[in-house]
Amino acid sequence: MRQGNLEEIFRTISEYQEHRLLNPLFIALCNNEERVRYHAVCCFGRVVPAMASKDPEAARVVMRRFLWSLNDESGGIGWGAPEAMAEIMCHSDRLRSEYVHMLISYMRKDGDKPFEDGNYLELPMLQRGLLWGIGRLCQLHRDEMIGHRITADLAAYLDSLDAHVAGLAIRCLGMLGASAESVKIAPFCSNKSQLSLFVDGTMKIVTVGQLAENALRQIGESTSEDLSTCRPMP
């Protein structure tokens, strides 16, 4: 996991049966090195969807293991669980249809009204992983994520004291074309706080300001596309 690019790692793991890779990958999720953790996340995105195509229940067991790790009763913390779940769902329609609502629930607090059954993650470090995962799903399944109406959930993170959390939320809002949040995003353009971001198979250092500028550009492009599809009134 430490050496080589992702394609080399994928070639290596393809030589093993999926179930034999699970424990080493779970261990790698807790590695001190960020790149190793994200390589493990990407490998989960190959291994578990392959399992789901052959033995759906075995894949569900893995997903439930992630869910349990994020449960207070588990005694664990769940490092890497949101990211791995998201990457798996990016590559498995079956698992995405069954579990994406659970990932979304980690952005929502529990409430008194029907269907307000949130499982809000309080720790900023877990919020970072969650928002990276949501962003990954927005990147590959944008229309589906728009349909889940998560804009307000994401916008709430702009008030976070953790610049990394706010930056990742801004990134998601940009990918969703959330024009209603442009006014809230704009002040972040001057924010020089840096964060590491795993994208396109590599770790990159970006600023919150860069993410905000890119988000506003994406929102502008999305709005222009929407307007171009509107027909003039007769």
What pLDDT digit, counting tens, does each position of 97-134 carry? Answer: 999 999 999 999 986 655 557 899 999 999 999 999 99
pLDDT at position 227 over 50: no
Kindly state the tokens that stand for 110: 């529990």
Share of the chain above pLDDT 70, in %: 90
CA 104 to chain CA centroid, Å, is: 10
> Is residue 217 over pLDDT 70?
yes
For 212-221, what is the mean pLDDT?
98
pTM: 0.92
Q: Which amino acid is at 110?
A: D
Residue 208 has pLDDT above 60, yes or no: yes
Give which of 5, 98, 6 is closest to 44, Cα–Cα. 6
Is the CB of residue 41 less than 8 Å from the CB of residue 84? yes
Per-residue pLDDT, averaged over 65-92, amounts to 92
Residue 151 clears pLDDT 60, i.e. is over it: yes
In sequence order, which residues have a C-beta less than 8 Å from that of residue 225 and are 6 or more positions away?
Answer: none
Q: What is the pLDDT of residue 232?
A: 44
Pick the more confident residue, 42 or 76. Answer: 42
How far is residue 200's CA from residue 196's CA, in Å, rounded to a whole number? 13
Burial class (CB within 10 angstroms; exposed 0-12, middle 13-18, buried 19+) of 140: middle
**C-alpha span between 146 and 176 (Å, rounded):** 6
Contact 134, 145 (CB under 8 A): yes
Q: How many whole angstroms separate alpha carbon 119 and alpha carbon 110?
A: 6
234 confidence band (pLDDT: 50, 70, 90):
very low
As a whole number, the mean pLDDT across the chain is 93
The pLDDT assigned to 112 comes to: 65
Higher pLDDT, 160 or 222: 160
Q: How many CB atoms lie within 10 A of CB 6?
A: 15
Residues 168 and 135 sit within 8 Å (Cβ to Cβ): yes
The amino acid at residue 7 is E
| pLDDT at residue 72 is higher than 90 | no
What is the per-residue pLDDT for 212?
A: 99
Q: Mean pLDDT throughout 161-179? A: 98
Can you give the pLDDT at residue 201?
Answer: 92
Please give the pLDDT value at position 223: 76
In whole angstroms, give the CA distance from residue 33 to residue 1. Answer: 10
Structure tokens at 19: 């179930």
